Structure 1
Amino acid sequence: MESQNPLPYSDPKQAAHSLLGIVKELANEITPDNFDSNSVHLDSKLDQDLGLDSLARAELLQRTEQQFTLTLPTQTLAEIETPRDLLNAIFNAEQHPTSLKASAERIELPSASNYPDHVTTLQDLLRWHVDQHGDRPHLYVYQDADNVESISYHTLYQQAKIIACRLQDLGIGPGDTVAIMLPTCNAYFYCFFGILLSRAIPVPIYPPARPSQIEDHLIRHSKILQNAETKLLITVEQAKGLSTLLKLHVPALQHIVTTEEIKTLSAESVTSEQQHIGQAQPDDIAFLQYTSGSTGIPKGVKLTHANLLANIRAMGKAVGATSDDVFVSWLPVYHDMGLIGAWFGSLYHAIPLVIMSPLNFLTQPKRWLWALHHHRGTITAAPNFAYELCVNKIADADLEGLDLSSVRHCWNGAEPISPATMKAFTQRYQDHGFAPEAMTPVYGLAESSVGLTFPLKTRTPRVEWVDRQTMMNSGRAVVNSGKAVNVDGSETKVDQNINSLLDHSIPLIGLGHPLPGHQIRIVDSQGREVPERQEGELEFKGPSSTLGYYRTPDKTAELYHDEWLRTGDRGLTMEGELFLTGRVKDIIIKAGRNIYPQELESAVSQLDGSRKGCIAVFASANPKTGTEQLVVLAETKLEDEQKKQQLRDEIQNLSFNLLGIPTDVVELCPPHTVPKTSSGKIRRSACKTLFEENKLNAPQRAVWWQATRLFMSSAKPAFVRFRRLAADWGFACYMWLIMALLAPPVWVLVALLPTQSACWSVARWGARSLIKLTGTNLTIDGIEHIPTDGSPYLVIVNHASYLDGLVLLAATGKEHQFVAKSELKGNVFARTFLEKLGTHFVERFDTQKSLTDSRQLTAFADSPRPLTIFPEGTLYRMAGLHDFHLGAFQIAVEKQIPILPITLKGTRSILRDKSLFPRKGDIDVIISPLIKPNGSDWQATLALRNTARKVMLENSGEPDLTRENTR
């Protein structure tokens, strides 16, 4: 192919000059303030010297391919360490336009007839698929950029059995841990299940980015291997020579083997399938998921077979997964999102999984999209930065003919999500068939297997714009009037322009509701649950929850808060949906890894030229990559620029040696720049603000002024927290005082008054007084829908709080016939009060007695005082509408009288189930039009129930939690 310009690699010197120009340009973009073009030469280290991380090197390869009109092998990203390495790769590459061969084919498999709902372990899951459809393709593994090899369930099982037997020959037995340090390849899947079939515990760890890093990489991961007491490591050939060194660091390690060595086994041995090891149990540890950190004490999340299967089933239910789906993934299989979400999820639901190496994606992001096109992928997932790459790093010419119309779920998770990135991706690829509602922000963490919250219905991403100052000062989310700027590009009318909106608002992204069977809650610093729209720490529980960290009891103890597990994230809920606002600790997420700033800060403090204890490491959003960048802010007394550059280089090298990745920005500043608390702790959030507002080099003020400002800035957050805590306690005490003052006279009057109408008048006065005196804003919508002609009707109400009955007393102006649980008859005070108001009691637990009580209620349905029923039967702490018992609807059909649905909003936030700590809040009462029964049979009862439930779901804005127990 001819080029308009002379080919730059026809002359080695010209090629080198051209390549160095590309490198300098990119390095200057990454670190514009610290860049020295004279420091870039052919033998410069891309990591240590130039600060190019994996994403930056991927960008370097793309620019090189474009400039030199060629395609480099995928492995180039993992092999190059210097510009000279890249130059050699250029001379070895064939010249042709960078294009993707359309060799992949559409996947069309027959639907699976049933699903393994009864299996209890991963081993049983694979065997079930082998028995049901062993020859059905399960995996489509990209061997390189273009060639795909399929693996059936039968092949996976047979290869895994070979490895299991070999592991037993090497002394591996039930409960032993075996580490896998392999790239995405066929052998990875064989080895993982081979370990499971031997009843050992797989420990996935990520492989080194480049062969030359193996020694540092293994030493860095030796703490993981020590904690896991790993007996055997399956790895790449290059690591074999380091076995002696590694065994010195990991005393329990007995063998380091390659995939080729572990598959070497005689056919006779394979026939003796593990007869002596017994069957795996649901509560056995299935594998250890180590949180991606750096040099700190590693935390291996213990995930049992029961945990994993519960999570997979819940996620499948949430997204409606079927065997007709096709999952396309480039996510690493040592990471929970790729391992559990992509592989195990596909395995369970008989979904073909198309998987490629992360290097395939990073070097050419278009390969991911074209894989979705060719295989007609319906489900995929990636962190936010991947969508950013697809927006900015793919040329329009490379998208000609691309069709993404088959994609129905494009999960976005594992790192902070950018509304701008989602909008840009959606807008760019909408013309290529991408549906705006396919973009699906989700939330999860390893401690909950992988998934925790998913949107419960297909929709465009929900982005709420909340007032910035209110959020910062009180932690309360007050939605801005201009919030309705949709991610799909459409705009609802706003009261101000977008620039003003951004200046005064913070975007919060809806991450969905808890998976079926799971719960979340937001708690304050005292561990009490807060109302909706109030920020706090996110906690969770459910069948996917880990039992703790492997051989780290102190960390496990920190994880638990009674029966709940701490996430380390801050957030809030709106209508039960999760919105994250930040992190409890200053953890930095970089390239899918968790980085703990204290480690790097401590190490940098030891360098000559830096001021000990005056180093801040924090994350700052990088608008170019859509991910977080790692920033080191270091105080120094050095003034000579050459010495300062030397210190920057040392910090860069230290970061790489300690964390395995370079820093994005090294900012040197004069003494007293790094803000600290009064006790001397680094204030990283303040450092981040100074950095992002470009105020690090502002003129230094007098010491007394700095001290005053420091005191004021430190005192303000403490004062805000104290004020919020005092306000919460003050309101709770005040409300109980008002109740204590109102309850006795109201109870006495109700107990003594002779007529029911008089009792109702007193009770109504008490309820309205409580609402008024506590400053609760009660809004009633639809009061005109209450019949006034005296004709009979039934009232059904959602049950959210202990306050629901009082709210109905105050809001409707009607005398109700409440239906209450029979347990209340055991309390003389409650029984006396309720009986005087004409309440009927129904048995809940004795089926025969419950049926008799329900039938007796039919006799009271003709009264002008409406029979009022909470069809959920009880109240729940978590937002959502639960199952409706059919009694009320059966009565309505039998008597042919209409139902009046009343929806209560806000009572749950004021006083939740199992809580005696009231919170200030507002209450909405929505009275819907009457619903008349259509027919007199069983189907009419169901139809009436379904219609009423649909109305109440729409009015409440809460999720549908049918058949879930979320108390």
Structure 2
Amino acid sequence: MPIAARVAELVADHAPAGPTTPAAPARLVEDLGFDSLHLMELLVSLQIEFDLEPFADAELVGLSSVADLTTFITSKLSPEIDDAGALLGWLASPRTDAGISWLGDDGEWRTASYADLAAAALRTAAWLREQGVEPGDVVSLTLAGVDDFVTAFFGVLAAGAVPSPLAPPLALGSLDNYIDHAAHLLTLAAPRLILADPTITDHLTTAATKAALPCKVTPLQDTHATGTTPHQPDPEAIALLQFTSGSSGRPRGVRLTMGNLGANIGMIRRWLGLGRDELTVSWLPLHHDMGLIGCLLTPIVNQSPLRTMRPDQFIRDPLRWLRCLGADGAAVAVSPTFGFAYTLSRVRPEALADLDFSNWRVAIVGAERVDPLVLQRFAALLEPHGFQPGTFRPAYGLAEATLAVTGTQGETPLAIRPDWSTMLPGQLVSVLEQAPLGVVPAGPGWVTCCGQPHPSLLLEVLDDEGRPLPPGHLGEVAVSGPSISTQAHLGGSTSATRLAGTQLRTGDAGFLYAGQLVVVGRTGDSLKVRGRHLFAEELEARLVTETGIPAGRIAVALGIAAGRETAVLVCEQPLTDDQRAAAEAVLTRETGGADIRIETGPRGLVLRTSSGKARRRELWQRYCG
């Protein structure tokens, strides 16, 4: 049983008012009625349950809620991994026989050892101090090369400052839009310094000016400064300012502490059982939580080998990514569903003839809706070459939780087909069918279970009043624990994701099935139809299945316009008469007769975040605002 769930059980067992289901933010004294005697009995039970030494009085100061107890017990059980100092610990004794490789534009791989990267980071820390960067200052990073990025990121941390990655401009994207976007993020970050690739320093200078910031914009220097001793971090010190994708509003800044990062990286290492010599391969962007924390920081802290390519290099040749796994022995890869679907569209079976995927141990799937039929097709393509469906690890996470929240444990992933007419807030969701990946029938309505919560996190599904719901009931997913950012989010409260004390209310709707989390959509991207929630993601999946329009070409926005329920379909290709008729039929049937609007146009019509998610709220404002 996860640590958080067992702590909650023991709290319920010892509550003076009798067994209850305490929410994570619940205060032990004020909300649950604990007195000194009951608190002492609870602490003794925790010591016995988790085989811990007696707690010192000083350790217990400030532990006032269920979430506080969970964090405390977790830190006692696994200090060697969750230690906040682990993030910088590798700088003191870096490996010379392992490091990071990256794909150059000439198609050749280049490598820097962890020893080389650590030395460069410490020199950069000394140079940053010469530039007037002080502990606690924010330094924004827009660096495409992974060697430069790692040098700058850890140089900033070693100087005691706070790195804040920003997305580079999109190829063929509007430069004016990028400058506006960057100015918004810089206004939130208020950096002391911006480190950027030479090709975009002018653009970021314009953005900084627009944000009325006096900070300097400069390329990363190949400095010869004498390396410095890393700043000794406080676990509560801010270690990273990362931005949300902005899929449900403008991006917001999430401030993560050393403790948050250490806890989440520790969770991921334990979850994967990441070996010291296991090769990880990634094409995800470095400014995105999944690419940064899951695919970059975790292997670095583990000091295991890492091979990276840029997203545009993956798009040009996904077979190059597969060859890292089928020819070069990579064991761990991470991708949203899009990556697997795109690979299917570009790689023919005959191209895999000389590849062996039997060493591919983990394929984490997250960041967007996990489509079981896409994963099933991908597995079928690679199974003749040693790939196993249990390699897939569907997962759920979000930037406000640092990254990882749930994940499957290596079993063949489970898909279910709920009765969507029972998707009523606070009510039990009826499940019509379930099937392991590999035998999921074709057709709409299937969703993938995203695994159990990581042991140190307490995940609950809440009703509209914030009360925990039993398993199987639809509500809002809420999480608490040591990797949850409890700092106020920068950039306003337009998102449904918000803090309630130390508990993160995610704004995602879901339920628990067989101990696993099932996420069905965003509460802000839905309509109530005949009393149930209709989610944009499910509507898109049905449109893809029933019209044949590719998944990457559409987005749906839902809302109320002129007092009427309205569904907007935005499609990046012309529709045949049959496709348009089929789309209208699906939208009318599923929305219960809402007003329907269909917009078609070229690629780029669907507004997307820098991580590729549809910006539904902005699409709604464009067409119905």
TM-score by length of 1: 0.47
* Corresponding residue for residue 124 of structure 1: 88
* Corresponding residue for residue 292 of structure 1: 245
1:253-277 Cα shifts (integer Å, max 9, x gaps): 4211113xx22x4x4x415x26xx9
Equivalent residue in structure 2 for 1:140, among 90, 94, 101: 101
For residues 779-928 of structure 1, the aligned pairs below 5 Å read none
RMSD: 3.5
1:837-895 Cα shifts (integer Å, max 9, x gaps): xxxxxxxxxxxxxxxxxxxxxxxxxxxxxxxxxxxxxxxxxxxxxxxxxxxxxxxxxxx
- Tell me if the contact between 2:252 and 2:492 (Cα under 8 Å) persists in the aligned partners: no
- The alpha-carbon distance between structure 1 residues 212 and 328, as it changes in their structure 2 partners (threshold 3 A), is closer
> Are positions 1:388 and 2:388 aligned together?
no
* Corresponding residue for residue 529 of structure 1: 468
- Tell me if the contact between 2:567 and 2:587 (Cα under 8 Å) persists in the aligned partners: no
> Are positions 1:201 and 2:162 aligned together?
yes
- The alpha-carbon distance between structure 1 residues 558 and 514, as it changes in their structure 2 partners (threshold 3 A), is closer
> Are positions 1:478 and 2:430 aligned together?
yes
Structure 2: tracts of 5 or more residues without a match: 1-78, 527-535, 572-578, 596-625
- The alpha-carbon distance between structure 1 residues 397 and 253, as it changes in their structure 2 partners (threshold 3 A), is farther
Equivalent residue in structure 1 for 2:146, among 157, 165, 185: 185
Q: CA deviation at 1:404?
A: 0.8
Separation in structure 1 between the aligned mates of residue 517 and residue 158 of structure 2, nearest angstrom:
38
- Tell me if the contact between 2:507 and 2:523 (Cα under 8 Å) persists in the aligned partners: yes
- Tell me if the contact between 1:214 and 1:238 (Cα under 8 Å) persists in the aligned partners: no
- Tell me if the contact between 2:84 and 2:261 (Cα under 8 Å) persists in the aligned partners: no
1:166-213 Cα shifts (integer Å, max 9, x gaps): 222222111111111121431111111111111111110111123885
> Are positions 1:462 and 2:423 aligned together?
no
* Corresponding residue for residue 246 of structure 1: 207
SS at match of 2:509: strand
Aligned-residue sequence identity (percent) comes to 26
Q: Size of the alignment, in residue pairs? A: 495
* Corresponding residue for residue 226 of structure 2: 270
1:804-842 Cα shifts (integer Å, max 9, x gaps): xxxxxxxxxxxxxxxxxxxxxxxxxxxxxxxxxxxxxxx
AA at the equivalent of 2:88: D
Separation in structure 2 between the aligned mates of residue 439 and residue 145 of structure 1, nearest angstrom:
32
* Corresponding residue for residue 719 of structure 1: none
- Tell me if the contact between 2:428 and 2:472 (Cα under 8 Å) persists in the aligned partners: yes
> Are positions 1:573 and 2:512 aligned together?
yes
SS at match of 2:434: coil
For residues 207-356 of structure 1, the aligned pairs below 5 Å read 207-210=168-171, 213-242=174-203, 245-259=206-220, 262-263=221-222, 265=223, 267=224, 269-270=225-226, 273=228, 278-293=231-246, 297-356=250-309
* Corresponding residue for residue 413 of structure 1: 366
- The alpha-carbon distance between structure 1 residues 583 and 626, as it changes in their structure 2 partners (threshold 3 A), is farther
Taking CA–CA contacts closer than 8 Å with sequence separation of 6 or more, which of the two structures ends up with the larger relative contact order? 2
- Tell me if the contact between 2:496 and 2:507 (Cα under 8 Å) persists in the aligned partners: no
AA at the equivalent of 2:305: P
> Are positions 1:434 and 2:387 aligned together?
yes
- The alpha-carbon distance between structure 1 residues 447 and 579, as it changes in their structure 2 partners (threshold 3 A), is same
Separation in structure 2 between the aligned mates of residue 397 and residue 686 of structure 1, nearest angstrom:
37
- Tell me if the contact between 2:182 and 2:204 (Cα under 8 Å) persists in the aligned partners: no
- Tell me if the contact between 1:548 and 1:556 (Cα under 8 Å) persists in the aligned partners: no
Q: CA deviation at 1:618?
A: 11
- The alpha-carbon distance between structure 1 residues 179 and 682, as it changes in their structure 2 partners (threshold 3 A), is farther
AA at the equivalent of 2:163: P
- Tell me if the contact between 2:81 and 2:263 (Cα under 8 Å) persists in the aligned partners: no
- The alpha-carbon distance between structure 1 residues 536 and 145, as it changes in their structure 2 partners (threshold 3 A), is farther
Separation in structure 1 between the aligned mates of residue 570 and residue 205 of structure 2, nearest angstrom:
44
- The alpha-carbon distance between structure 1 residues 334 and 626, as it changes in their structure 2 partners (threshold 3 A), is farther
Q: CA deviation at 1:565?
A: 0.9
Separation in structure 1 between the aligned mates of residue 549 and residue 337 of structure 2, nearest angstrom:
9
SS at match of 2:383: helix
AA at the equivalent of 1:223: H
* Corresponding residue for residue 694 of structure 1: 583
* Corresponding residue for residue 515 of structure 1: 454
- The alpha-carbon distance between structure 1 residues 257 and 562, as it changes in their structure 2 partners (threshold 3 A), is closer
Q: Which has the larger radius of gyration?
A: 1
Q: CA deviation at 1:165?
A: 2.1
- Tell me if the contact between 1:135 and 1:153 (Cα under 8 Å) persists in the aligned partners: yes
SS at match of 2:477: strand
Structure 1: tracts of 5 or more residues without a match: 1-114, 492-497, 588-615, 634-673, 700-707, 712-967
Separation in structure 2 between the aligned mates of residue 553 and residue 535 of structure 1, nearest angstrom:
27
Separation in structure 1 between the aligned mates of residue 453 and residue 248 of structure 2, nearest angstrom:
33
SS at match of 1:572: strand
Separation in structure 2 between the aligned mates of residue 581 and residue 417 of structure 1, nearest angstrom:
10
Q: CA deviation at 1:306?
A: 0.8
1:209-228 Cα shifts (integer Å, max 9, x gaps): 23885554233211100111
Separation in structure 2 between the aligned mates of residue 434 and residue 514 of structure 1, nearest angstrom:
26
Separation in structure 2 between the aligned mates of residue 359 and residue 404 of structure 1, nearest angstrom:
24
For residues 347-386 of structure 1, the aligned pairs below 5 Å read 347-386=300-339
1:322-380 Cα shifts (integer Å, max 9, x gaps): 21321111111111111111111112222211111111211111111001123201111
SS at match of 1:186: helix
Separation in structure 1 between the aligned mates of residue 524 and residue 559 of structure 2, nearest angstrom:
17
Larger strand percent: 2
AA at the equivalent of 1:257: T
AA at the equivalent of 1:125: G
Separation in structure 1 between the aligned mates of residue 449 and residue 586 of structure 2, nearest angstrom:
37
SS at match of 1:238: helix
- Tell me if the contact between 1:549 and 1:556 (Cα under 8 Å) persists in the aligned partners: no
- Tell me if the contact between 1:517 and 1:543 (Cα under 8 Å) persists in the aligned partners: yes
1:575-603 Cα shifts (integer Å, max 9, x gaps): 3210111111129xxxxxxxxxxxxxxxx
SS at match of 2:170: coil
Equivalent residue in structure 2 for 1:546, among 485, 504, 507: 485
Equivalent residue in structure 2 for 1:447, among 385, 396, 400: 400
- Tell me if the contact between 1:519 and 1:542 (Cα under 8 Å) persists in the aligned partners: yes
Separation in structure 1 between the aligned mates of residue 511 and residue 462 of structure 2, nearest angstrom:
9
AA at the equivalent of 2:438: D
SS at match of 1:464: strand
- Tell me if the contact between 1:619 and 1:630 (Cα under 8 Å) persists in the aligned partners: no
- Tell me if the contact between 2:406 and 2:453 (Cα under 8 Å) persists in the aligned partners: yes
- The alpha-carbon distance between structure 1 residues 165 and 278, as it changes in their structure 2 partners (threshold 3 A), is closer
AA at the equivalent of 1:443: Y
- Tell me if the contact between 1:143 and 1:185 (Cα under 8 Å) persists in the aligned partners: no
- Tell me if the contact between 2:139 and 2:162 (Cα under 8 Å) persists in the aligned partners: yes
Q: CA deviation at 1:238?
A: 2.3
TM-score by length of 2: 0.72
SS at match of 2:217: strand
- The alpha-carbon distance between structure 1 residues 626 and 179, as it changes in their structure 2 partners (threshold 3 A), is farther
Separation in structure 1 between the aligned mates of residue 128 and residue 295 of structure 2, nearest angstrom:
26
- The alpha-carbon distance between structure 1 residues 561 and 165, as it changes in their structure 2 partners (threshold 3 A), is same
* Corresponding residue for residue 563 of structure 2: 680
* Corresponding residue for residue 487 of structure 1: 437
Separation in structure 2 between the aligned mates of residue 330 and residue 687 of structure 1, nearest angstrom:
28
Equivalent residue in structure 2 for 1:564, among 503, 525, 533: 503
SS at match of 2:461: strand
